[in-house]
Chain A
Amino acid sequence: MPKASSLPDETQAAPAAVSPPRRTAAGRRPDGRERAARGLPYLLVTPLALFIIGLALIPAAFTIIEAFYRVNPLDPPTRFDGIGNFRRLFANNVVLTSIGNTALYVVIGVVASTVLGIFFAVVLRRPFRGRGILIAVLILPWALPGVVEGILWTGIFDPNTGLLNGVLSSVHLASHGSVLLGDNRWLTIFLIELVQVWQITPLSALLVLASMQLMPQELFQAAEIDGCGAWQSFWRITLPLARPGVAVAVVQALIATLNVFDQPYVLNGAATTGSSITEQTYFISFQDLDFGGGYALSLLITVATLIVSLVVVRAVYRRVDY
């Protein structure tokens, strides 16, 4: 029987970076070839490690430090400012609105992409004719850049010539030329997030599907013999065992929605009805040239992402052993 255990996960001890030459099973010292073989993994991983250190960790460290500095070429020199950047951000109504908008993006996006991801994973779980093609089609939106999707959906949401308005007006659910984006904040955020859900759901579906593919069929057969219906089987076996995949899917959706930029920027410009925190980071950094403020907002997004991700992992993730 599979076993679901709660965190903390078991961790494997990392090999010591520097250790005395180990003796082989025969008790002799390793020769040059063996030493080279042992060093090969480290050698192979070095470029990636340097890449991550150079382009992620060092800039991240600078961001953390400079979030507490006044960095603005229009207001030189760069100087320590304590929590000044954060204070200014929280006194800025536009930033506060964007935080509220982003929270809505997160709630709508995470819930919708996870539910849809589980649904598609269940549909795709069993082999059927055309399954491969369906998976390929499903992946397409995930492969498209957010900007391209934004442009595509701009056409769909266009009040005059858009597909959505055309369909809605033809079934008398809306009048021709109804404004979908920019007029009502809730509708604007919902529709913009719908576009992002369209983009991120494929990955959620694949992650959950991967979890489901590992589930032994015997379990379902045994459940069926015990009189378990399809719905019960889903709730009591499939979903609990899919929790590792669901947890990763939720975290990726969380990261994507907390950092949403392309879709609101392309579909709704800078309007406060839909602007996100990352949009404000861009405006503060590159329009206002207040890089310190930009660093501080980036740091806030990172911290929020980390905290919420940890909460989600704690709440959703369960280790499953088959």
Chain B
Amino acid sequence: MARTLSSRRGRLGRTTTAGAAAALAVALAACGGSSSSGSSAAGSSQTSGVTITVALANTALPKAALAAFTKQTGIKVKWVDIDWDSLQTKISAAATAQTYFADATDVDWSRVGQLSKLSWFYPMEQFLNTKSMAADMPQLASFTVGGKVIGIPYDASFMVTTVNKDLFAKAHITTMPTTLDQYTADLKKLQTSGASAHPLDIPFAAAEGLSTYWYETTGALGGTILDQSYKPQFTSPDSPGYKAAEWMISAIKSGLVPKSNINVTDSQGMQTLMAKGQVASIFSDYSGNVGTLYNVPSASSVVNQVEYLPTPGAAGAAANWSNPDGIGIPKEAKYPKAAAKFIQWFTSEQQQIDFAGVNGAAKAWPTYPLPSHLSAVKVMATRGNLVGGDALSAMLATSKPVFEGGAPPWYPQFSNSVYTNLHAAAAGSETVAQAIKAIAATANGLAS
């Protein structure tokens, strides 16, 4: 699941290599498809005078920052920017074939359970004092399975609700909603008043963004998707997950969501609907979008009109689901200890403050969304470097992982079932009950 704005924006472009998937599968067979999982090629313990490869779905860090790291440690960094989908394919292919491709690379929160079970990555506590990091990094929990930390979050993406306050004002809504019922009533008011024909964006394309939206809505209603033993918690019509699905599907059926959203992805909705004033709200938006998209004049026609809203829940503001990007060390890394030094530096509070642009443009990492250190976010908010900083830092402090026990090892299959069935329900080829039943059957089948 792509998390950062840069990687999300590149989602369509990222599919370039996906067409070669079958060929890659074939190549895998030749390169060791029969390998057993979890083997480890012990890398060198050298931590100086080496060059490490860092592969992430982000543009390279500022040259000055990398030069400073090399001067400080003697470790050179070769930065490889690979689109998110290709990177995930590469991680799987390299690990299965037991070949080296990078010393440090992306660990997506949704793959943590899978990566943990496969032992494809080193536990980070082997190199870093992860316990001391936890207090200032609320999203470290999203990367922890069975007490093992698979990756360190380097940004603090989480789901938030955004509203176009100008459109709300046009509909004479002056008090922002705090519950989902009020929020729904306000959306209807926006529609009937003519302020916005279709005020809500839900990305109903059969893609990951739809699954994430459902998780966030379920969380807002006070529920969870799976329990600690990965049992579905959404099958009863009274459950928050079921109600969330009903709310989403009824929103498109009733016209609160544009009918055309049946094939709109999350990033498309943000860029072509919310940023263009076509809709008035996104219930499950990405943290940081106000500053990095909606307030960017070249990309938006709603500059200074959008603000974050504490996510409306069943009986008041609800907690937000974490959605962060992390970085970890594959077992086939050549220089794992050097990679650990890089990760320690890369995810340190001071570096994150620099990357966020607090200390000047020269040190800023242009595509960096939000620091994973709570203290860094607070510094940004205090110094006025973060649009909606106070709201964001408060939400970050209470953000929670989507899956309490860590994402299940079979999460990608589960998510595929979620978004294909919810999409089918929105298109009318399934009812909500059928979609929920199919999703639950997938989860039960995979968990058994």
Once bound together, how far apart are the Cα atoms of A97 and B424, in whole Å?
Answer: 13
Q: Taking the nearest CB of chain B, how far is it from the CB of A100, in angstroms? A: 14
Interface residues on A, range: 35 or more
Would A73 and B12 be within 8 Å (CB), given that A55-B27, A160-B260, A269-B206 are in contact?
A: no
Once bound together, how far apart are the Cα atoms of A62 and B205, in whole Å?
Answer: 36
Over the window 260-285 of chain A, the binary record of Cβ atoms lying under 8 Å from chain B Cβ atoms (1 yes, 0 no) is 01100111111111000010011101
Q: Are B423 and A73 in contact (CB under 8 A)?
A: no
Q: Taking the nearest CB of chain B, how far is it from the CB of A31, in angstroms? A: 42
Q: Are B29 and A295 in contact (CB under 8 A)?
A: yes
Q: What does DSSP make chain B's interface, helix, strand, loop or mixed?
A: helix
Other-chain contact of B15, A59, A158, A179, A265 (Cβ < 8 Å): A265
Once bound together, how far apart are the Cα atoms of A76 and B409, in whole Å?
Answer: 14
Once bound together, how far apart are the Cα atoms of A267 and B93, in whole Å?
Answer: 26
Q: Taking the nearest CB of chain A, how far is it from the CB of B120, in angstroms? A: 8
Over the window 286-306 of chain A, the binary record of Cβ atoms lying under 8 Å from chain B Cβ atoms (1 yes, 0 no) is 111101001100100100000
A253 at interface (Cβ–Cβ under 8 A)?
no
Once bound together, how far apart are the Cα atoms of A178 and B259, in whole Å?
Answer: 8
Among A10-18, A142-150, A196-204, the one that faces the other chain is A142-150
A193 at interface (Cβ–Cβ under 8 A)?
no
Q: Are B260 and A179 in contact (CB under 8 A)?
A: yes
Number of B residues contacting the other chain (C-beta, 8 Å)? 54
Among residues of A, the one whose C-beta sits closest to the C-beta of B206 is A271
Q: Contacts of A37 on B, CB cut-off 8 Å? A: none
Q: Are A161 and B272 in contact (CB under 8 A)?
A: yes
Once bound together, how far apart are the Cα atoms of A282 and B113, in whole Å?
Answer: 20
Q: Taking the nearest CB of chain A, how far is it from the CB of B366, in angstroms? A: 23
Other-chain contact of A159, B28, B92, B207, B260 (Cβ < 8 Å): B260
Would A269 and B22 be within 8 Å (CB), given that A55-B27, A286-B92 are in contact?
A: no
Once bound together, how far apart are the Cα atoms of A76 and B118, in whole Å?
Answer: 10
Q: Contacts of B93 on A, CB cut-off 8 Å? A: 286
Contacts beyond the supplied A177-B260, A259-B22, A269-B206: 18 A-B pairs with Cβ under 8 Å: A66-B34, A74-B117, A147-B12, A147-B15, A159-B258, A160-B260, A179-B260, A181-B262, A182-B205, A261-B22, A266-B15, A269-B263, A269-B265, A271-B424, A285-B28, A287-B412, A294-B25, A298-B22
Residues of B within 8 A of A (CB): 12-13, 15-16, 18-19, 21-22, 24-30, 33-37, 88-89, 92-93, 95-96, 114, 117-118, 204-207, 258-260, 262-263, 265, 272-273, 278, 409-410, 412-413, 416, 419-420, 423-424, 427-429
Residues of A within 8 A of B (CB): 55, 58-60, 62-63, 65-66, 69, 71, 73-74, 76-78, 94, 145-147, 150-151, 154, 158-161, 177-179, 181-183, 185, 259, 261-262, 265-273, 278, 281-283, 285-289, 291, 294-295, 298, 301
22 cross-chain CB contacts under 8 A: A65-B29, A66-B33, A73-B37, A73-B96, A78-B36, A147-B13, A147-B18, A147-B19, A159-B258, A161-B272, A179-B262, A182-B205, A261-B21, A262-B19, A265-B18, A269-B206, A270-B419, A271-B263, A281-B21, A285-B28, A286-B88, A289-B92
